[in-house]
Protein backbone atom coordinates (compact mmCIF):
# COMPACT_ATOMS: atom_id res chain seq x y z
CA UNK A 1 0.00 0.00 0.00
CA UNK A 2 2.97 2.30 0.47
CA UNK A 3 4.80 3.95 -2.40
CA UNK A 4 8.34 2.95 -3.23
CA UNK A 5 9.57 6.24 -1.77
CA UNK A 6 7.80 5.58 1.51
CA UNK A 7 9.33 2.15 1.69
CA UNK A 8 12.76 3.55 0.90
CA UNK A 9 12.53 6.17 3.64
CA UNK A 10 11.22 3.57 6.05
CA UNK A 11 14.00 1.12 5.35
CA UNK A 12 16.74 3.75 5.05
CA UNK A 13 15.62 6.66 7.15
CA UNK A 14 17.60 9.86 6.58
CA UNK A 15 18.77 11.89 9.57
CA UNK A 16 17.70 9.39 12.16
CA UNK A 17 19.23 10.00 15.57
CA UNK A 18 19.83 12.72 18.12
CA UNK A 19 21.70 16.03 18.21
CA UNK A 20 23.54 16.29 21.50
CA UNK A 21 23.26 20.01 22.08
CA UNK A 22 20.42 20.87 19.76
CA UNK A 23 19.20 24.44 19.27
CA UNK A 24 15.69 23.12 19.60
CA UNK A 25 13.89 19.85 20.32
CA UNK A 26 10.23 19.17 19.76
CA UNK A 27 8.29 16.04 20.65
CA UNK A 28 4.77 15.61 19.40
CA UNK A 29 2.22 12.84 19.20
CA UNK A 30 1.04 10.45 21.78
CA UNK A 31 2.03 6.91 22.61
CA UNK A 32 -1.63 6.16 23.20
CA UNK A 33 -2.32 6.82 19.56
CA UNK A 34 0.70 4.89 18.46
CA UNK A 35 2.92 7.64 17.17
CA UNK A 36 5.45 9.99 18.67
CA UNK A 37 7.96 12.03 16.76
CA UNK A 38 10.87 13.96 18.17
CA UNK A 39 12.78 16.40 16.05
CA UNK A 40 16.14 17.93 16.89
CA UNK A 41 17.26 21.00 15.01
CA UNK A 42 20.52 22.85 14.85
CA UNK A 43 20.06 26.50 13.83
CA UNK A 44 22.83 28.79 12.71
CA UNK A 45 22.15 32.28 11.34
CA UNK A 46 18.50 31.50 10.85
CA UNK A 47 19.40 28.43 8.85
CA UNK A 48 18.59 24.90 9.93
CA UNK A 49 22.01 23.43 9.45
CA UNK A 50 21.27 20.05 10.94
CA UNK A 51 18.23 18.06 11.84
CA UNK A 52 17.65 14.61 13.33
CA UNK A 53 14.58 12.67 14.31
CA UNK A 54 13.37 9.77 16.36
CA UNK A 55 10.01 8.26 15.73
CA UNK A 56 7.81 5.71 17.40
CA UNK A 57 5.12 4.89 14.89
CA UNK A 58 3.99 3.14 11.79
CA UNK A 59 5.75 2.96 8.46
CA UNK A 60 4.16 6.19 7.29
CA UNK A 61 5.18 7.99 10.46
CA UNK A 62 8.79 6.91 10.05
CA UNK A 63 8.90 7.78 6.36
CA UNK A 64 7.33 11.21 6.81
CA UNK A 65 9.75 11.93 9.61
CA UNK A 66 12.65 11.04 7.41
CA UNK A 67 11.34 12.99 4.44
CA UNK A 68 10.54 16.03 6.58
CA UNK A 69 14.09 16.21 7.86
CA UNK A 70 15.39 16.07 4.31
CA UNK A 71 13.14 18.90 3.27
CA UNK A 72 14.08 21.02 6.26
CA UNK A 73 17.80 20.61 6.18
CA UNK A 74 19.61 23.69 4.93
CA UNK A 75 16.48 25.77 4.79
CA UNK A 76 15.94 29.11 6.49
CA UNK A 77 13.39 29.15 9.27
CA UNK A 78 11.04 31.09 7.05
CA UNK A 79 11.38 28.52 4.28
CA UNK A 80 11.04 25.63 6.72
CA UNK A 81 7.79 27.03 8.00
CA UNK A 82 6.34 26.67 4.53
CA UNK A 83 6.80 22.92 4.64
CA UNK A 84 3.42 21.33 5.27
CA UNK A 85 2.12 17.83 5.83
CA UNK A 86 0.89 17.96 2.32
CA UNK A 87 4.25 18.79 0.84
CA UNK A 88 5.89 16.01 2.86
CA UNK A 89 3.28 13.52 1.71
CA UNK A 90 3.66 14.66 -1.88
CA UNK A 91 7.42 14.33 -1.70
CA UNK A 92 6.77 10.71 -0.72
CA UNK A 93 4.54 10.17 -3.77
CA UNK A 94 1.48 10.18 -1.56
CA UNK A 95 0.22 8.19 1.39
CA UNK A 96 -2.70 5.78 1.69
CA UNK A 97 -5.79 7.67 2.87
CA UNK A 98 -5.87 5.89 6.24
CA UNK A 99 -2.31 6.95 6.86
CA UNK A 100 -2.62 10.65 6.12
CA UNK A 101 -3.02 11.40 9.80
CA UNK A 102 0.49 10.12 10.44
CA UNK A 103 1.94 12.80 8.20
CA UNK A 104 0.53 15.44 10.52
CA UNK A 105 3.33 14.63 12.94
CA UNK A 106 6.12 15.89 10.74
CA UNK A 107 4.86 19.45 10.45
CA UNK A 108 3.96 19.56 14.11
CA UNK A 109 7.33 18.21 15.25
CA UNK A 110 9.19 20.77 13.19
CA UNK A 111 7.06 23.56 14.62
CA UNK A 112 7.56 22.25 18.13
CA UNK A 113 11.33 22.16 17.65
CA UNK A 114 11.29 25.69 16.27
CA UNK A 115 9.09 26.83 19.15
CA UNK A 116 11.59 25.31 21.58
CA UNK A 117 14.41 27.07 19.79
CA UNK A 118 12.53 30.36 19.92
CA UNK A 119 11.69 29.96 23.61
CA UNK A 120 15.30 29.15 24.48
CA UNK A 121 16.59 32.14 22.54
CA UNK A 122 13.75 34.42 23.39
CA UNK A 123 12.86 34.94 19.78
CA UNK A 124 9.57 35.57 18.10
CA UNK A 125 9.07 33.61 14.92
CA UNK A 126 6.37 35.07 12.75
CA UNK A 127 3.47 32.65 12.15
CA UNK A 128 4.62 30.02 14.62
CA UNK A 129 2.13 28.81 17.18
CA UNK A 130 2.75 26.91 20.41
CA UNK A 131 2.61 23.14 19.96
CA UNK A 132 -0.76 21.49 20.50
CA UNK A 133 -1.21 19.35 23.55
CA UNK A 134 -2.35 16.33 21.60
CA UNK A 135 -2.04 16.24 17.90
CA UNK A 136 -4.84 13.77 17.48
CA UNK A 137 -7.38 15.64 19.54
CA UNK A 138 -8.80 17.65 16.72
CA UNK A 139 -9.33 14.60 14.57
CA UNK A 140 -12.82 13.21 14.34
CA UNK A 141 -13.25 9.48 14.82
CA UNK A 142 -13.41 7.55 11.62
CA UNK A 143 -17.14 7.44 11.03
CA UNK A 144 -18.20 3.81 10.99
CA UNK A 145 -21.68 3.59 9.74
Partner 1 sequence: MNKIYLDHAATTPTRSEVVDAMLPYFTQQFGNPSSVYEVARINRKAVDEARSMVANALGATSDEIFFTSGGTEADNWAIKGIAEAYEQKGKHIITSAIEHHAVLHTCQYLEKKGYQVTYLPVDEYGQISIQDLKEAIQEDTILITIMYANNEIGTIQPIEAIGKIAKEHNIIFHTDAVQAVGHVPIHVKEMNIDLLSLSGHKLYGPKGIGALYIRKGVRIKPFIHGGAQERNRRAGTENVPAIVGLAKAIELSMKEMEESNHKIIELRDYLIKGIQEAIPHIRLNGHPTERLPGNVNFSFRFIEGESLLIGLDMHGIYASSGSACTSGSLDPSHVLLAIGLPHEIAHGSLRITLGPENTKEEMNYVLETLPKIVQRLRDMSPLYEDFLRAQS
Closest CB to partner 1 among residues 21, 122: 21
Could you say whether residue 144 binds partner 1 (CB under 8 A)? Answer: yes
Could you say whether residue 124 binds partner 1 (CB under 8 A)? Answer: no
Which among 63, 88, 92, 102 is annotated as catalytic?
A: 102
CB burial readout 118-140, b (16+ within 10 A) else e: beeeeeebeebeebeeebeeeee
CA distance 29 to 61: 10
Whether 102 sits among the annotated catalytic residues: the reply is yes
CA distance 128 to 114: 8
Site for partner 1, rule CB under 8 A:
1-2, 7, 10-11, 13, 16, 18, 27, 31-38, 54-59, 61-62, 98, 101, 136, 142, 144-145
Amino acid sequence: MYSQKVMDHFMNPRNMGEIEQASGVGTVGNAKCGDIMRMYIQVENDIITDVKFKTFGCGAAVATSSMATELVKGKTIEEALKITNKSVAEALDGLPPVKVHCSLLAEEALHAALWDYAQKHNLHIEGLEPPKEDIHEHEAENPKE
